[in-house]
Amino acid sequence: MFYYISKKLFVSLITLFIISLFAFSLMHLLPGDPVINVLGEGATDEDIAYWRSYYNLDQPILKQYVLWVRNFIKGDMGVSLMYEEDVSETLARRLPVTLAVGIPICIVSIFFGILFGVITAVKRGTWIDQVLTTMANIGIASPLFWFAIMLILIFGMQLNILPFRGFVAPSENFVEYLKSIALPVAAGSLGFVAVITRQTRSNMLEVLNQDYIRTARANGLSEVSILFTEALKNALIPIITIMGMQIRIIVGGSIIIEQVFSIPGIGSWLIRAITNRDYWIVQACVLVISIVTVFSNLLVDILYGFIDPRIRKKWR
């Protein structure tokens, strides 16, 4: 187990290294000098020289990379030239907001996805299966922003029962927080509920046809016990991959949700930075998102080992 995890960890670090190279070269590969880009054509030579040396842009490129990584690890992601804001500070403020929306999306979609998946598999062919499966297919097919806008129109504007702009921190007012994330979470989980439902359903159907389920029945186990202790564990194995994918999208893919619902998280920040060519923010965001991605993949691999003894034993 230890060997298995350390090996996966090693691979993760290599991946991170490669991604950091990409993120770093971003500034140097895109046309135009990043400093002039922000200060404008009319900037004085002294100003330009000052900021260039502030960002170590006057150093040899290899040294720039080393300095950049070192500062990043120390938690210093530089200062955004455009807004003169400290990138690390803003990140520390915006990341919790993204997580406060993203984690509920994660929980809601896994819970309902598995629940609906099991129901549709057990009740296959009945009306409840047909209704849920049709809804899942619609959920997979409909674009996120369309669904978000429909939610805003119905619950926000027509019924006027839920807020659809802005975000209230849970520490401020928990009830308001729940209200403020209701629509974003509904919009953000739809696709995942749909995907997980479909995947769980087909896995369950396959597992329920396996010989060991017949063995369990022949041994007199009850249907409920068979479902949750014998079948689900096997059916979950392929679903873990989807869940891992989801963690990554919570951080990176919240862009649309944050934009539509005006939530001050990483996603809306990244959009603004890209529009303004604010490389320092883009670099920081890309790196943070990559770190989350890499570690969620690592988590998935470890979970696999926990849930599937065949994988665990292989790494002994």
Partner 1 sequence: MGGYSNRLLEVNNLRTSFFITEGEVKAVDGISYYIDKEEIVAIVGESGCGKSVSQMSIIQLIQSPPGKILGGEAIFEGRDLLKLNSSEIRRVRGAEIAFIFQEPMTALNPVITVGKQLSKDIRTHKKVSRKEAWNIATEALKAVKIPDPEKRMKNYPFEMSGGMRQRVMIANAVACNANLIIADEPTTALDVTTQAQVMELLVSIVKEYKTSLIVVTHNLGLVTRYADRIYVMYAGRIVESGTCKEIMKNPSHPYTLGLLKSVPKLDSDVDEKLIPITGAPPTLLNAPDTCAFLPRCPYASEICRCNSKPELHKINGGNHLIACYRDIARLKNEHDY
Q: How many CB atoms lie within 10 A of CB 63?
A: 10
Q: Does 316 bind partner 1 (CB under 8 A)?
A: no
In degrees and rounded to multiples of 5, residue 183 shows phi and psi of: -70, -45
In angstroms, the CA 281 to CA 86 distance is: 9
Query: What token pair was written down for 265?
Result: 């998280």
Q: Where are the alpha helices (DSSP H) in the chain?
A: 2-29, 34-39, 45-54, 61-74, 87-122, 127-141, 144-151, 174-208, 211-218, 223-225, 232-252, 255-260, 266-275, 279-307, 309-314
- Per rule CB under 8 A, is residue 123 in the interface with partner 1? no
Give the number of residues in contact with partner 1, rule: CB under 8 A: 23
User: Which one, 176 or 308, has the nearer CB to partner 1?
Assistant: 308
What string marks each residue from 201 to 230 as x (binds partner 1 by CB under 8 A) or -? ---------xxx-xxxxxxxxx--x---xx
Q: How far is 110 from 197, CA to CA, in rounded Å?
A: 9
Tell which one of 54, 233, 238, 262 touches partner 1 (CB under 8 A). Answer: 233
For position 172 contacting partner 1 by CB under 8 A, the verdict is no
Q: What whole-number distance in Å separates Cα of residue 179 and Cα of residue 85?
A: 30
Which is nearer to partner 1, 167 or 304 (by Cβ)? 304
307 binds partner 1 (CB under 8 A): yes
The Cα 30–Cα 79 span in angstroms is 20
Closest to partner 1 by CB, 100 vs 231, is: 231
Residue whose C-alpha is closest to residue 301's, from 290, 312, 291, 292? 312
Binders in 67-96 for partner 1, by CB under 8 A: none
Nearer to partner 1, 243 or 266 (CB): 243
Segment 132 to 171, residues that bind partner 1, using CB under 8 A = none
Q: Which is closer to partner 1, CB of 57 or CB of 311?
A: 311
Q: Provide, rounded to whole angstroms, the least separation between the CB of residue 242 and partner 1.
A: 19
Which is closer to partner 1, CB of 42 or CB of 220?
220
Q: Shortest Cβ distance from residue 231 to partner 1 (Å)?
A: 9
H-assigned helices in 123-173:
127-141, 144-151
Binding site for partner 1 (CB under 8 A): 210-212, 214-222, 225, 229-230, 233-234, 237, 307-310, 313
